[in-house]
């Protein structure tokens, strides 16, 4: 599968806390942000660096720096907002876009309602964030929208992924690399990831 599952003990520990239904809203949000930071760290391992010269307290020297302006973080509403603070802590000067999608509970298909990204997004690398990659419908729809704007390099970060969702993204967009904290067993009849962690959006926003 074209998905990288981060098996670091710290991440697996935080995932365990996320799964627990006793974990409260505040802690759930903090854990989602922390895992998002770690996922972004891994996803940026192939980032290109530019050389520049700076003056230390001792002498002038050459250093390698990241051009944060090359990147756009795009959370998929609403649950993706729960990861956005984490990724922007890694690159605070990156641009931010927003895609609004919700799942039709009868058809399980994504419905678009909002799309706002930088005008010059095609010049940048896009990092999509959404806590759950379940059926893959929302991810595929979001990727399709971004590719229609001319973006060539896209990465997708999620907390939990189901094999069905990974397969759908791979079949449609084999060039999109997926980074996740955990690949779970399957989907249930309602389209939820098993064992999963419930509805990530509801838990992030304290709706239930």
- Check 25, 70, 149, 199 and give the catalytic one: 199
Residue 189 to residue 175: CA distance in whole angstroms:
29
Q: Is 103 assigned a catalytic role?
A: yes
Residue 27 to residue 9: CA distance in whole angstroms:
19
- Check 69, 107, 112, 186 and give the catalytic one: 107
For 5, 19, 140, 196, the CA distances from 188, given in Å and listed in that order, are 21, 16, 20, 10
- Check 19, 25, 103, 149 and give the catalytic one: 103
Q: Is 29 assigned a catalytic role?
A: no
Which string of DSSP letters, residue by residue, matches 146-203?
A: HHHTT---EEEEEEEE-HHHHHHHHHH-TT-EEEEEEE-SEE-TTS-EES--S-HHHH
Q: Is 107 assigned a catalytic role?
A: yes
Q: Is 199 assigned a catalytic role?
A: yes
Active site residues: 103, 107, 199, 202
């Amino acid at each position: 599968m074209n998905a990288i599952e981060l098996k670091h003990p710290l991440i697996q520990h935080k995932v365990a806390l996320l799964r627990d239904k006793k974990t409260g809203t505040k802690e759930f949000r903090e854990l989602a942000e922390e895992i998002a930071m770690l996922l972004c760290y891994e996803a940026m391992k192939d980032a290109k660096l530019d050389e520049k010269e700076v003056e230390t307290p001792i002498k002038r020297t050459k250093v390698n720096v990241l051009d944060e302006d090359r990147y756009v973080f795009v959370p998929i509403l609403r649950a993706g907002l729960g990861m956005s603070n984490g990724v922007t802590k890694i690159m605070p000067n990156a641009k931010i876009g927003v895609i609004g999608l919700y799942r039709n509970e009868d058809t399980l298909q994504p419905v678009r309602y909002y799309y706002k990204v930088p005008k010059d997004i095609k010049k940048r690398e896009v990092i999509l964030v959404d806590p759950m990659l379940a059926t893959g419908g929302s991810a595929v729809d979001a990727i399709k929208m971004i590719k229609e704007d001319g973006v060539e390099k896209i990465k997708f970060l999620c907390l939990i992924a189901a094999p069905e969702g990974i397969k759908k993204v791979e079949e449609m967009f084999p060039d999109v690399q997926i980074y996740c904290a955990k690949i779970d067993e399957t989907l249930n009849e309602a389209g939820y990831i098993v064992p999963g962690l419930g509805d990530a959006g509801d838990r992030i926003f304290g709706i239930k």
